[in-house]
């Protein structure tokens, strides 16, 4: 991002990092190596955000290696020098049955419910947070709780050629909520999902 932006700073970054070894295009031999790389991305985001600017980091807990992604990522965002502002839960209108956790319920009598939510970790760089425009505040008043119910993108691979497409509505809301008029916004180029 620094190469793309030069010395320019942005008010907002929306990032969707890979969820460890959940996709064929992202692989680490050790979870510690994965976290180290994600910390580098978080520090990069910190460096390009202006004072008071906000990073929204979309991460889920679905991990076959039994790591609590949300907790680990919250910790690395703080280590990157960002301050916790909020956590918004993105509830999908239906569970994700592509990850076969729930198959264990009947097959092995082990309770692993199907995944239906992801976290939007909201962190701020020290400084005065940007003020929304009047139009943005009116729109965001419709979503005044910290749970956003937004349908997941269906047929992602078939239509978009990507297995983890983020709904544009999520990025749209974060841009409205965490930027002022004429803001500069970036999405992390190392992200896991296509955004806009």
Q: Where are the domains of the chain?
A: 2-187
Considering only CA atoms, give the Rg of the chain.
17
Domain 2-187: CATH architecture, name and number where available: 3-Layer(aba) Sandwich (3.40)
| pLDDT attached to residue 152 | 82
* pTM of the shown model: 0.86
Q: What is the pLDDT along the chain (196 residues), one digit of tens a residue?
A: 777 777 888 999 999 887 776 666 667 788 899 899 999 999 999 999 999 999 999 998 876 677 888 999 999 999 999 999 999 999 998 877 766 676 777 888 888 787 889 999 999 999 999 999 999 999 999 999 999 999 887 766 666 666 677 888 999 999 999 999 987 776 654 444 333 3
- CB contact set of 140 (below 8 Å; sequence gap of 6+): 132, 173, 176, 177
- For the record, the structure tokens of 148 come out as 């956003």
- CB contact set of 50 (below 8 Å; sequence gap of 6+): 9, 10, 11, 125, 127
């Amino acid at each position: 991002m620094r190469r793309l932006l030069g010395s320019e700073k942005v008010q907002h970054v929306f990032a969707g990092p890979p969820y460890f070894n959940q996709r064929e295009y992202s692989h680490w031999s050790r979870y510690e190596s994965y976290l180290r790389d994600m910390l580098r991305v978080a520090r990069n985001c910190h460096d390009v955000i202006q004072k008071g600017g906000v990073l929204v980091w979309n991460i889920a807990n679905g991990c076959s290696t039994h790591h609590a992604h949300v907790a680990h990522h919250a910790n690395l965002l703080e280590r990157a020098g960002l301050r916790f502002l909020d956590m918004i839960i993105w509830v999908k209108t239906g569970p994700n049955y592509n990850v076969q956790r729930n198959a264990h319920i009947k097959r092995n009598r082990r309770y692993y419910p199907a995944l239906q939510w992801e976290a939007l970790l909201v962190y701020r760089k020290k400084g005065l947070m940007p003020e929304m425009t009047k139009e943005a505040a009116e729109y965001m008043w419709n979503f005044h709780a910290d749970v956003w119910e937004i349908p997941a993108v269906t047929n992602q691979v078939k239509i978009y050629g990507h297995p983890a497409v983020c709904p544009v509505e999520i990025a749209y809301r974060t841009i409205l909520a965490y930027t002022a008029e004429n803001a500069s916004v970036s999405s992390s180029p190392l992200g896991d999902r296509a955004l806009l």
